[in-house]
């Protein structure tokens, strides 16, 4: 599995650096969250296609199955997924998708050199121009929308905020 | 008033091989004393085998970069009591080969700077070597790159970068920032050549804007900004 010259301990070290934001501040948190959300959403996407594909016969989709099969597969899937663990999982996916999209737009802007401050003479105690207030605002917007998506999903699936 | 603070210092002896270990030292600390003062105290009074690199003791030479409580900093620019901790962990920088204890080998940083030609390029070499006039520059032209000239090559940003940690071929914050410093200098004629050098996988495209370089820079240089501006230039072609 491991490439030549790559020791197990260096893989663990890399994972630690990638997944633990440490004390490096907001932008490092964004880096970790963007990665984790990207990977989780990719995995979710694969699982989602496999799961919905079942209704039309999964891998044998090219020979379309009859309606009763699709209906049964659908009922079974719905029954399997109708439990609080999957609901909570979907809420987390909702959180991550909202975060990834808005924070992704923030990163695209930054990568194109927009919404950043201009180079200026360094001054003690003032943040680097690349940590501009526009960039920070977009980050917090992504967090807020992600929290909203989380609560909204929980509410629509589990009716947690309804009397 | 003197307080006792515990220094937990990373020790590594190449001749022993292995991973290295932490050793604890009690250090009496007064107001104003820096991490470097503490390390020198240990070396003079407790354990002369401790290796630490420093020179200016005033945040100018860039020799004394270490990680203090998991954050890159200049040992001479960090006051012990300001950390407000009883135990202080001092480790060498990451992403460099280790020489001994807190001393790292800075070669990767300098090699990558050299690969990016981080010096003034002029088309007319003869004139550059034997200048007959000054290269004039306006205030605005100066402001475009001035921030990036404050770099003291301490390499802390390179140690903090998660991309260098996970993909060591990445040029890293300081060398790319330095490339932009010259690219943005109106006196420099490197232009397209500079963009060609960074327009590659190991260059600007690998930066994920984790911003840790700019978060730790003791000189307010903001390498993350320079890299995004350099990428913008690479996109413009
Ligand atoms: C509007 C939608 C999206 C936007 C704006 C967006 C944007 C981004 C950006 C800017 C990055 C980070 C690049 C960097 O670190 O330099 C990223 C990473 C990533 N995205 Fe997305 N993305 C979107 C949707 C998706 C979707 C639907 C998936 C998966 C099915 C996905 C999977 C990933 C993965 C796996 C990463 C890798 C993380 C990394 O390299 O750090 N993204 N995305
Ligand atoms: S950019 Fe800052 S942290 Fe990086 S080498 Fe220069 S002074 Fe040190
Ligand atoms: S000893 Fe020169 S920068 Fe710290």
**A5 and B CB contact within 8 Å:** no
Assess if residue A13 is contained within a domain. no
Reading the block at residue B7, the tokens are 């220094």
Nearest residue of A to residue B211, measured between CA atoms = A27
**Cβ-nearest to A112 among B144, B215, B232:** B232
Ligand nearest to the CA of B40: 3
Reading the block at residue B220, the tokens are 């307010």
Reading the block at residue A42, the tokens are 């990719």
Dump pLDDT digits (tens) for A3-55: 554 566 788 989 999 999 999 999 999 999 999 999 999 999 999 998 888 77
CATH number of B107-236: 1.10.1060.10
- List the domain boundaries for chain B: 3-104, 107-236
Q: Determine the structural domain holding residue A143 and report its residue range.
A: 26-117+124-158
Interior CA angle at B151 toward B69 and A21, to 5°?
Answer: 35
pLDDT of residue A129: 96
Helix, strand, or coil here: B208?
A: coil
CATH number for the domain that contains residue A85: 1.20.1300
Alpha helices in chain A (DSSP H): 8-19, 26-53, 67-81, 84-111, 133-158
From CA B65, how far away is CA B69, in angstroms rounded?
Answer: 13
Contact residues on chain B for A25, CB-CB shorter than 8 A: 211-212, 215
Mean pLDDT of chain A: 90
Q: Tell me the CA end-to-end span of chain B in Å, nearest whole number.
A: 60
Q: Report the b/e string of A39-62 with b at 16+ CB within 10 A.
A: ebbeebeeeeeeeeebbebeeeee
Check: complex ipTM more than 0.85: yes
Architecture category of domain B3-104 in CATH: Roll (3.10)
Taking the CA of residue B130 and the nearest CA in chain A, the distance in Å comes to: 31
Assess if residue A8 is contained within a domain. no
| CA B114 to the chain's CA centroid | 15
From the list B121, B98, B100, B122, the residue with the least C-alpha distance to B108 is B98
Helix, strand, or coil here: B57?
A: coil
pLDDT of residue A7: 62
Q: How many CA atoms lie within 13 A of A26 on its CB side?
A: 15
Total count of domains within chain A: 1
**A128 and B CB contact within 8 Å:** yes
Reading the block at residue B25, the tokens are 């030292």
Positions in chain B short of pLDDT 50: none
Mean pLDDT on A107-112: 96
Assess if residue A58 is contained within a domain. yes
Share of chain A above pLDDT 70, in %: 94
pLDDT of residue A61: 63
| CB proximity list for B204: less than 8 A, separation 6 or greater | B176, B198, B227, B230, B231, B234
Mean pLDDT on A127-150: 97
Give distance in angstroms: CA of B214 to centre of ligand 2: 8
From CA B42, how far away is CA B49, in angstroms rounded?
Answer: 9
Dump pLDDT digits (tens) for A85-95: 999 999 999 99
Bridge partners (DSSP) listed for residue B87: B6
pLDDT of residue A1: 40
Dump pLDDT digits (tens) for A46-72: 999 988 887 777 777 677 778 888 888
Give distance in angstroms: CA of B163 to centre of ligand 2: 16
Pairing of strands B98-100, B103-104: antiparallel
From CA B13, how far away is CA B9, in angstroms rounded?
Answer: 13
Whole-model pTM?
A: 0.92
From the list B102, B82, B84, the residue with the least C-alpha distance to B93 is B102
State which H helix or E strand residue B179 sits in. Answer: helix B173-183
Residues with CB under 6 A from ligand 2: B 151-157, 173-174, 177, 217, 219, 221, 223
From CA A79, how far away is CA B69, in angstroms rounded?
Answer: 50
Interior CA angle at A61 toward A60 and A62, to 5°?
Answer: 95
Assess if residue A9 is contained within a domain. no
From CA A51, how far away is CA A64, in angstroms rounded?
Answer: 16
């Amino acid at each position: 599995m491991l490439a030549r010259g790559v020791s197990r301990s260096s893989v663990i070290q890399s994972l630690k650096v990638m997944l633990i934001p440490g004390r490096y501040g907001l932008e490092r948190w964004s880096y970790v969250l963007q990665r984790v959300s990207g990977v989780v959403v990719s995995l979710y996407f694969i699982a989602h296609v496999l799961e919905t594909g079942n209704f039309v016969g999964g891998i044998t989709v090219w020979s379309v199955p009859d309606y009763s099969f699709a209906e049964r597969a659908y009922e079974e899937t719905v029954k399997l997924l109708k439990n609080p663990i999957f609901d909570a999982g979907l809420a987390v996916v909702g959180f991550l998708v909202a975060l990834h999209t808005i924070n992704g737009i923030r990163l695209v802007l930054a990568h194109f050199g927009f919404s950043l401050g201009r180079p200026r003479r360094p001054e003690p105690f003032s943040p680097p121009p690349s940590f501009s207030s526009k960039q920070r605002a977009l980050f917090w917007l992504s967090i807020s929308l992600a929290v909203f998506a989380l609560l909204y999903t929980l509410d629509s699936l589990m009716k947690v905020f309804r009397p | 008033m003197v307080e006792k603070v515990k220094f937990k210092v990373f020790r590594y002896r190449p001749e022993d091989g292995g991973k290295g270990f932490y050793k604890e030292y009690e250090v009496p600390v007064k107001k104003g004393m820096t991490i470097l003062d503490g390390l020198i105290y240990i070396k003079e009074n407790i354990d002369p085998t401790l290796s630490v690199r420093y020179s200016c003791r005033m945040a100018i030479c860039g020799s004394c970069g270490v990680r203090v409580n998991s954050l890159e900093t200049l040992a001479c620019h960090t006051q012990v009591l300001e950390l407000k901790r009883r135990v202080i962990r001092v480790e060498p920088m990451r992403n460099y080969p280790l020489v001994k204890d807190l001393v790292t080998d800075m070669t990767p940083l300098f090699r990558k700077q050299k690969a990016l030609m981080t010096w003034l390029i002029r088309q007319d070499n003869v004139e550059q070597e034997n200048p007959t006039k000054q290269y004039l520059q306006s205030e605005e032209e100066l402001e475009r790159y001035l921030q990036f000239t404050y770099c003291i090559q301490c390499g802390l940003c390179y140690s903090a970068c998660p991309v260098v940690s996970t993909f060591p071929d990445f040029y890293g914050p300081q060398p790319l920032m330095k490339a932009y410093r010259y690219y943005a200098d109106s006196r420099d004629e490197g232009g397209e050549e500079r963009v060609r050098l960074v327009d590659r996988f190991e260059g600007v495209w690998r930066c994920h804007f984790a911003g840790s370089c700019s978060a730790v820079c003791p000189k307010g240089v903001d390498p993350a900004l320079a890299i995004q501006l350099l990428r913008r230039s690479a996109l413009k072609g």
